Amino acid sequence: MNIVKYIFWLVAFLMGVIAAYVVPEETMSVGAKFIFVGAWGAVLGFVFYTVCSRQIEAIENDFNEVLNKPQPKDTQFVSVRLQEEKKNPLPPGAIPAAEALKQQPVPASIKKLDAAALKVGFPLEAWNGFKLGILRNRPFTEVIDAMQKLLPELFPEASGVLYMYGGVQTELSQIFRFGPNVISDETVLPAECASFNTGDIVVTDYSSPEVSSGCTHLHHRPKGLAICAPIEGLEEHFGILTLQVDKLPETETKEYWQAKVSIVATAFGLYVANQDLSMRFEQHSIRDVLTGLFNKRYMEESLSREITAAVRHKSPIGIVMLYPDAIPAVQNAQGRHAVEQLFWELGQRLPSYIRGEDIPCRYSDDVFCVIMPGADLNITRNRAERIRNEISQLQIAYGEGILATTLSMGVAVMPTHANDAGSLIYTAEASLQMAMQAGGNRVVVANSVMK
């Protein structure tokens, strides 16, 4: 019906457009024609909208009358029956599954298992202490203490050892042990643990007739179950976590223990890797890459800090500048690589000729310096003479030749020769230049510069 009305409206509108087009322009201008077409369309649209609205209103009234009529008796019966089926969908005589489970007695073995499981649980308090220490990147000793508290609670009745590399990479040293039994030596070789070679967790079940895990370091107590996990992070190996238990708890399995060991070892390995990376970054930011000595930036910061302390405590501070006299000759005869080898050798030996509180640095490409807190003029000059004497006797094998050098050295002391860091460095450099110009292999004190 609406389509018919729409077609009627469209035909009427087109007739109006045609009538406006046929009327000559002398009778009606072009502008008047456009106004007529617009008004004609608006009038027809209003009429069409009014007719359609009345039809829609009539349909809604009819629909409401149908809804308000009372339902037949058979319809009411079907509705009531559906509601009863929803309330009680089971056949006569049947009972719900929940009531059947309540009436069925629970075996004693299951009750015992549930009680034991609730008793074992998971040591959340100890784990949170260990986890927060790792996430907050706390000091190593603090994380180790948290780990020592966690492991005995996480692995009840077990004994274990945490091994890590010490000063050398050829053996693993015991950091701590836990549990009632001794299961391994205090120091082991990496090759004695199969987890080191495989890079994965190794489980040894000594109840099996054939034991071939390869963990030979567990010779103190080869019984029950043993688990070894590598401490790794960022593709580097840092140590081994190993533990042994005579018998697993009734509520836990071998796979569950393996998973717990994996979680602890992985978290601790990433923590150690992050600590190692931070330490390397810090070392690279204050160390000279070639010699391993402190760089110029750290030297200037340290000198400023030590001078502040010296002024506060009214103590002296000495500085020594060093230049290897053989650099031009080695450069011409053997090349720059030989010079770098000479610098590396000096960087390795210089710390052994000074005190522990002294600060050896690479000041520039060819010049080294040593800051000596608390050293007066005599101590600084004597220390410089010892360094010069030791280096002059040094013979370094390089290819088919020998690397050797003497040192030109300048010495300055505060407050004798300077009152601040800038003047102290300046007088030490000036003294070094005098030693080089005098032929090298000598120590020049800033007294000569001041004169």
In the chain, domain spans? 3-57, 120-281, 296-445
What's the CATH code, domain 296-445?
3.30.70.270
Residue 115: its pLDDT value, please? 42
The parts of the chain modelled with pLDDT lower than 50 are 1, 73-82, 85, 101, 109-120
Residue 38: its pLDDT value, please? 74
Amino acid at 131: K
Residue 211: its pLDDT value, please? 59
Residue 92 region, left (φ>0) first, then alpha (ψ -120 to 50), else beta? Answer: beta
Residue 399: its pLDDT value, please? 83
Options 3.40.190.10, 3.90.120.10, 3.40.50.300, 3.30.450.40; CATH of 120-281? 3.30.450.40
Interatomic CA distance for residues 183 and 189, integer angstroms: 15
Q: What phi and psi, each to the nearest 5 degrees, are found at residue 125?
A: -65, -45
Residue 73: its pLDDT value, please? 47
- This prediction has a pTM of 0.47
Residue 34: its pLDDT value, please? 72
Q: Does 120-281 match 296-445 in CATH topology?
A: no
Strand partners, 403: 396
